[in-house]
């Protein structure tokens, strides 16, 4: 490029900068696309690619992990972990021998300890402390009070990223999630947070995963209440994803339509004609459902 051409390009760049400044002054700053949005768009463009097109490019698994990481900061403690209904906990007056039995049946490394009710979690016990007593042949303690450690207590609104930082800083791997009334809403482990990024982590002690949607004869479906509406829409009927309220799961949609957590055996009519039957539930949440297809209208003779 000649000197004259270089000067022209530089002049154009300077002129564009002046006009850009004038537009910002008159019309205000333009909303620039965030780095998060740029990454999302780049991943979307390669959605469905079987593998990296070039050496060093991202594989489908890596793209999914990047996408999970982009949305990780949008989730909070109330969105992840174990809900209250699924918590396995021990009462503070539990004997040591009974504690050993509960650990063996639960398959967890940490168990919360409560006083009188699950809304008053006073600590947690770690299986390492229990195993240390068993392995050394030490006398079994009369109570488990000496084994109780302090967990983290966090509100539902605590961001998942902040919670992960809290756990790393305080070296505590179990957090008790509290609702707006300081009752126990659920539990979050550091493994739960990692799984939000890398996906489900199964080990040799985990039960084989159960299908969230199981087809039945006649067009009906058995469903885990935790199944996402997006998956229901893809697998069963796209119309089932439509909801007036901000709900993500089939169980949440059922509770919204019914106006409460319905009893076992309740039939809830969906606006599309599908009927949702409650198979398993407790006073706080729905566990399993059955979807009955719409009954076709009789044809006119």
DSSP 261: -
Per-residue tokens: 206: 């985990």
Q: What is the pLDDT averaged over residues 120-136? A: 94
Rounded to an integer, what distance in angstroms lies between the CA atom of residue 255 and that of residue 286? 8
Of 25, 49, 72, the residue at which a domain comes to its end is 72
Q: What is the pLDDT of residue 9?
A: 45
Q: What is the pLDDT of residue 56?
A: 58
Q: What is the pLDDT of residue 244?
A: 67
Q: What is the pLDDT of residue 62?
A: 79
Give residue 82's pLDDT band: very low, low, confident or very high (50, 70, 90).
confident
Asked if residues 117 and 183 have their Cβ atoms less than 8 Å apart, the reply is no
Q: pLDDT higher for 224 or 243?
A: 224
Q: What is the pLDDT averaged over residues 152-170? A: 92
Q: What is the pLDDT of residue 218?
A: 86
Which residues fall within 8 angstroms of residue 294, CB to CB, at 6 or more apart?
A: 272, 273, 274
Kindly give the residue spans of alpha helices, DSSP state H, lying in 114-269.
Answer: 127-136, 160-170, 190-198, 229-235, 250-258
Residue 193 sits in the same domain as residue 113: yes
3-state secondary structure of 144: coil
Rounded to an integer, what distance in angstroms lies between the CA atom of residue 245 and that of residue 240? 13
Q: Is 29 exposed, middle or buried (0-12, 13-18, 19+ CB in 10 A)?
A: exposed
Which has the minimum average pLDDT: 117-126, 189-198, 266-275?
189-198
Supply the mean pLDDT for the chain.
81
Place of tokens 């049946």: 105
Residue 81 sits in the same domain as residue 194: yes
Give residue 5's pLDDT band: very low, low, confident or very high (50, 70, 90).
very low
Place of tokens 């009710």: 117
Residue 217 falls inside a structural domain: yes
Residue 26 has pLDDT above 60, yes or no: no
Give residue 290's pLDDT band: very low, low, confident or very high (50, 70, 90).
very high
Residue 300 falls inside a structural domain: no
Residue 166 sits in the same domain as residue 228: no
CATH number for the domain spanning 285: value is 3.30.465.10
- Give the domain range for residue 265: 213-292
Number of domains within the chain: 3
Q: What is the pLDDT averaged over residues 116-140? A: 93
pTM: 0.58
- Other C-beta atoms closer than 10 Å to the C-beta of 289 total 23
Residue 63 sits in the same domain as residue 120: no
Place of tokens 């998060």: 36
Rounded to an integer, what distance in angstroms lies between the CA atom of residue 84 and that of residue 81? 10
Q: What is the pLDDT of residue 15?
A: 55
Residue 148 falls inside a structural domain: yes
Residue 1 falls inside a structural domain: no
Residue 110 sits in the same domain as residue 189: yes
Residue 97 sits in the same domain as residue 58: no
Which has the minimum average pLDDT: 62-76, 97-111, 158-172, 218-232?
62-76
Residue 128 sits in the same domain as residue 239: no
3-state secondary structure of 11: helix
Residue 50 falls inside a structural domain: yes
Rounded to an integer, what distance in angstroms lies between the CA atom of residue 277 and that of residue 263? 10
Give residue 2's pLDDT band: very low, low, confident or very high (50, 70, 90).
very low
Give residue 6's pLDDT band: very low, low, confident or very high (50, 70, 90).
very low
Q: Partners of 113 in the beta sheet? A: 90, 123
In this predicted model, what pLDDT tens digit does every residue of 219-236 receive, in sequence order? 899 999 888 888 888 889
Asked if residues 295 and 274 have their Cβ atoms less than 8 Å apart, the reply is no
- Other C-beta atoms closer than 10 Å to the C-beta of 246 total 7
Residue 233 sits in the same domain as residue 277: yes
Q: Which of 214, 200, 221, 192 is nearest to 293 (CA)?
A: 221
DSSP 51: S
- Chain-centroid distance of CA 37 in Å reads 22
């Amino acid at each position: 490029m000649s000197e004259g051409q270089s000067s022209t390009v530089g002049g154009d760049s300077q002129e564009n900068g002046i006009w850009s400044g004038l537009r910002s002054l008159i019309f205000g700053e333009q909303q620039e696309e965030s780095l998060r949005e740029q990454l999302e768009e780049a991943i979307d463009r390669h959605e469905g690619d079987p593998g990296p097109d070039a050496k060093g490019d991202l594989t489908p698994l890596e793209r999914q992990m990047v996408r999970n990481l982009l949305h990780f900061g949008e989730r909070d403690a109330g969105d992840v972990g174990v809900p209250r209904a699924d918590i396995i906990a021990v009462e503070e007056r539990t004997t040591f021998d009974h504690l050993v039995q509960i650990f063996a049946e639960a398959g967890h490394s940490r168990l919360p300890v409560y006083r009188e009710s699950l809304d008053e979690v006073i600590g947690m016990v770690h299986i390492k402390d229990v195993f240390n007593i068993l392995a050394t042949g030490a006398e079994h303690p009369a109570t488990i009070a000496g084994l109780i450690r302090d967990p983290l207590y966090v509100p539902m609104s605590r961001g998942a990223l902040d919670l992960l930082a809290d756990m790393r800083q305080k070296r505590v791997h179990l957090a008790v999630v509290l609702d707006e009334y300081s009752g126990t809403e659920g539990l979050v482990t550091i493994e739960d947070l990692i799984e939000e990024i890398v996906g489900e982590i199964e080990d040799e002690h985990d039960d084989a995963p159960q299908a969230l949607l199981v087809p039945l004869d006649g067009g009906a479906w058995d469903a885990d209440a935790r199944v996402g509406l997006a998956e229901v829409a893809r697998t069963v009927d796209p119309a089932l994803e439509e909801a007036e309220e901000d709900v993500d799961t089939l169980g949440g949609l059922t509770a919204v339509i019914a106006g409460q957590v319905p009893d076992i055996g309740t039939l809830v009519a969906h606006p599309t004609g599908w009927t949702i039957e409650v198979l398993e539930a407790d006073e706080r949440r729905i566990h399993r459902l059955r979807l009955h297809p719409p009954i076709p209208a009789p044809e006119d003779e």
